[in-house]
């Protein structure tokens, strides 16, 4: 039996760009000294978070965001690769968990069972995660003392 594919979804570029621009601004609030440091550590409740610069180029920087939960065994770790475009002041999800290179639009159903708007959903998730981190996160004490804050 062949599954019928639906293709009525179209990418809302204006909305996607707005989310990516807001995520860029949020990243700079969480990791303002990324140009001079390679890593930033945060604690969000029982979770430990690391933002790491993994590649620097003239107009882009690639970051890895990792989160581990200290208290809960059922919550897995979070591993997101982020690509910052400094000239456009935008940040997008480049890899989510073990999945890389997500397209802007998919036919549904598909082999990997991505949603039609998978890329938009990943970037929206990142926006919510950043909002939570900015509201509840704190830098570990050793890092605060070392940076003079």
Q: CB neighbours (10 Å) of residue 106?
A: 20
- Which pLDDT tens digit goes with each residue over 47-64? 899 999 999 999 999 999
pLDDT at 15 over 60: yes
pLDDT of 109 reads 72
pLDDT of 117 reads 77
- Which pLDDT tens digit goes with each residue over 60-104? 999 999 999 866 666 678 999 999 999 999 999 999 887 677 665
pLDDT of 134 reads 94
Q: Are 140 and 43 in contact (CB under 8 A)?
A: yes
Q: What is the largest CA-CA distance in the chain?
A: 64
pLDDT at 29 over 70: yes
pLDDT of 145 reads 43
Which of 43, 29, 35, 70 lies closest to 141 in space, CA to CA?
43
pTM over 0.75: yes
pLDDT at 132 over 90: yes
Instruction: Quote the DSSP letter at residue 34.
Output: T
pLDDT averaged over every residue in the chain: 83
pLDDT at 148 over 50: no
């Amino acid at each position: 039996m062949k599954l019928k594919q639906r293709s009525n979804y179209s990418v809302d570029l204006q909305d996607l760009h707005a989310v990516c621009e807001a995520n860029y601004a949020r990243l700079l609030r969480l990791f303002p000294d990324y140009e001079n440091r390679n890593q930033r550590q945060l604690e969000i409740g029982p979770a430990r978070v690391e933002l790491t610069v993994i590649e620097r180029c003239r107009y882009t920087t690639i970051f890895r965001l990792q989160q581990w939960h200290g208290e809960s065994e059922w919550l897995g770790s979070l591993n997101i690769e982020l690509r910052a475009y400094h000239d456009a002041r935008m940040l997008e999800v480049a890899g989510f968990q073990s999945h890389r290179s997500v397209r802007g639009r998919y036919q549904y159903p598909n082999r990997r069972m991505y949603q039609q708007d998978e890329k938009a959903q990943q970037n929206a998730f990142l926006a919510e995660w950043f909002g939570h981190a900015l509201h509840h996160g704190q830098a570990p004490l050793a890092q605060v003392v070392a940076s003079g804050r």
